[in-house]
Amino acid sequence: MKIIRLLPMLALLLGGRTVVAQTPAYLDDSLPIEQRVEDALARMTLEEKVALCHGQSKFCVAGVKRLGIPELWMNDGPHGMKADIHWDSWEYAKATNDSCTAFPALVGLAATWNPELSLRYGRALGEEARYRKKDVVLGPGVNIYRTPLNGRSFEYMGEDPYLAAQMVVPYIQGVQQNGVATCVKHFAVNNQEADRLKTDVVVSDRALYEIYLPAFRAAVQQGGTWSIMGSYNRFEGTHCSHNDRLLNKILKGEWGFDGAVVSDWGGTHDTREAALNGLDIEMGTHAKSYADNYLADPFLALLKNGEIPQRVVDEKARRVLRLILRTSMNRARPWGSFATEEHAAEARAIAEEGIVLLKNEGGLLPLETKKMRIAVIGENADKRMSEGGGSAELKVWREITPLAGIRARFPEAEIVYERGYVSGYKGVTQAVGGQHARAVEAARKADLVIYVGGLNKERGQDSEQADRSDLYLPYNQDRLIGDIAAANKNTVVVLLTGNAVAMPWIDRVRSVVVAWYGGSEAGNALAAVLSGDVNPSGKLPVSFPVRLEDLGAHSPLAGEYPGDGTTVRYNDDIFVGYRWLEKQAVRPLFCFGHGLSYTTFAYGKPRVDASTLRPDGRIVLSIDVTNTGARAGAEVVQLYVGDREASIPRPVKELKGFRKVSLAPGETRTVEFVVTPEALSFYDAERHAWKAEAGQFDLSVGSSSADIRRSVTIRYEE
């Protein structure tokens, strides 16, 4: 039994009398948490307070053994619980009980446009973390998708701040229901892996508040996350893991964050800055020993000689104690469960809803289940996608590949598999050429081709520490797809990716599916969509441009990526993703919010309960949506707001609401959106406040950012 369970009933024999010690307030979970924090803090020595402010191993923070306050254990996420590593190295411990469930990558979760699924995702992940006795999950990530070259885009929730905010809140709530903290990352303006350790991001206050901070703010103020991770890059000249403006003024000041700020691993660079600029727990730094960390002995020395006041360490220890009480000292939290069939079922449901059908010429999909010869081509068809990617790499108990899923779903078909290409090759060697030729021949002899390619989470292809070099598919896949399509007109291209890719072959294939990285049940989920067992309902959380230069970060008009090695200027400002494309009237390959179905949906005439909105009011917009096809399906109804009379540059329109509605054939449902002044506002940098200007606003409802079905105009009066 742990000491914290013995202390409340500890008996002392004094003079022949038995005296029952009074329970210390910090151990009494019936008391308010703040009272318990202050009681524990008052009992601690200076050395014990400092010990809470830095790691004692790669993923562990010391508790206070003398007081029965347990350690705090962290684990990489956000798509599953990473395998255990050794105490003081990055080598895997090779345990036999840490093979987890892999959930879909967060870009795939965002593609579901379903907050209810996000809650289920978080709850299942939290159960796995709790069972493994982990207290903090290092995720989710909500950095905005500024460029499709970013190596970690697959870990994030898309290009739109409203979508990311709506999807991250239930994820946090689901995880923390288990008494496990989320550590939302990477705060902030961490939008590329190139030069991530040194790049100073220069961004306007307006873009900061309108684009790059809303998801973090929602994570704090709506999701109630218990910890936040600082990012590697600099902002306004200072590293983000100890940045006074980001951490003290915005996060803890403006937003009222009461949790702990954790550095990214090795993201701390200075004792004074770390002490004074808002960092609470330094992780990953290691010189000769953890005692040499910036917030270890060097911090203690400055406290002892009075150069840093004790109130600084008290505030840090207070926040860490609050985190410990919410997690490792929370005796009411459930036991959790790990690598269960129930979690696999949740992973599959999320993967199915996140799959996006981009193109389906002539109704090639769904596939008929009659006997046929199917050529499955592509290395990704038989590759474990849970592996690789950097800190998001997972060791899983089961992973159904696309090839395995297709074979299981179509037992009556003759399935021929050809690899087609070999990853890791920079040019066309004889071996690769042979793979290519066999794949094209297999395509020519088949009734149907299912090509499964894309990126693969190797370094430079959706992975930490490196960005992609261009928008094209690696390993000569674009050429291979073109040759396959020439050999067989019935070609379905399935892309496993965390980023947008170019498609120079798009006019030569009939169907294109984006399946992201689908986790443990990826193959079964894909087969269910290809067969029509599941009607696709995913929508793109990112824009797919025709060319890289079509996007603001790469445009000759404004783009600056990746910067000069020390600085990157966000000259695209608030115009990220579809905002830039619409501003420049550039048509994307596939627009933000796009996704087809095996059925069709009709939108009725929108209705508003008032035509004028005032500062303290709201308007309810209602619209009927009908399934006009022969299959049950789900539609994501999207609301965009556009300012007709803005005094400053504003996007043509911005996402301000969405609802996913499931409909049987012929069924009609009414979807409602509540529009408040907040939805009409922009950030006024001079006033340091949000502002809605008087004038006319278009409320547009549609199936994507480019497929607007109905609009209505309202007036806002200040």
Angle at 117 between CA 215 and CA 142, to 5 degrees: 20
Secondary structure of 21-74 as H, E, C letters: CCCCHHHCCCCCHHHHHHHHHHHCCHHHHHHCCEECCCCEECCEHHHCECCEEE
CA Rg value for the chain:
27
Q: Are 245 and 189 in contact (CB under 8 A)?
A: no
Q: DSSP assignment, residue 521?
A: G
Taking the C-alpha atoms of residue 110 and residue 69, their distance in angstroms, rounded to an integer, is 38
Separation of alpha carbons 567 and 233, rounded Å: 10
> What whole-number distance in Å separates Cα of residue 130 and Cα of residue 137?
10
Chain-centre distance for alpha carbon 164: 8
Q: For 582, which DSSP code?
A: H
Cβ distance 371 to 548 under 8 Å?
no
Buried b / exposed e across 383-402, counting CB within 10 Å, b at 16+? bebbebbbbbbbbbeebbbb
- Identify the active-site residue in 84, 264, 462, 643: 264
Query: Nearest CA to 716 among 612, 617, 629, 618?
Result: 612
Backbone phi and psi for residue 417, each to the nearest 5 degrees, phi listed first: -115, 135
231 in Cβ contact with 192 (< 8 Å) = no
Element (H, E) at 449: strand 448-454
115-131 and 161-176 helices cross at what angle (nearest 10)?
40
264 catalytic per annotation: yes
Q: CB within 8 A of 376, min separation 6: which ones?
A: 402, 403, 406, 415, 416, 417, 418, 449, 450, 452
The token pair at 703 is 């199936």
DSSP 8-state class, residue 318: H
Which tokens in the block code for residue 353?
């809803």
Local structure of residue 556 (DSSP, 8 states): T
* Alpha helices per DSSP H over 370-476: 402-409, 430-445
CA angle 228, 124, 535 (to 5 degrees): 110
Q: Which of 98, 77, 100 is nearest to 340 (CA)?
A: 100
Residue 94 backbone class (left: φ over 0; alpha: ψ -120 to 50; beta: rest) = left
| Residues 456, 475: Cα–Cα separation, whole Å | 11
Q: How far apart are the first and last CA of the chain?
A: 63
Q: Which two tokens stand for residue 32?
A: 């308010």
Token pair for residue 82?
Answer: 């990473």
Q: Please choose, from the candidates 673, 713, 676, the residue with its C-alpha nearest in 3D space to the C-alpha of residue 695.
A: 713
Report the 3 state secondary structure along 168-229.
Answer: HHHHHHHHHCCCCEEEEEEECCCCCCCCCCCCEEECCHHHHHHHHCHHHHHHHHCCCCCEEE
Are the beta carbons of 444 and 431 closer than 8 angstroms?
Answer: no
Amino acid letter for position 204: S
Beta-bridged to residue 356, according to DSSP, are 514
- d(C-alpha 75, C-alpha 93), whole Å: 14
Q: Which residues are catalytic?
A: 264
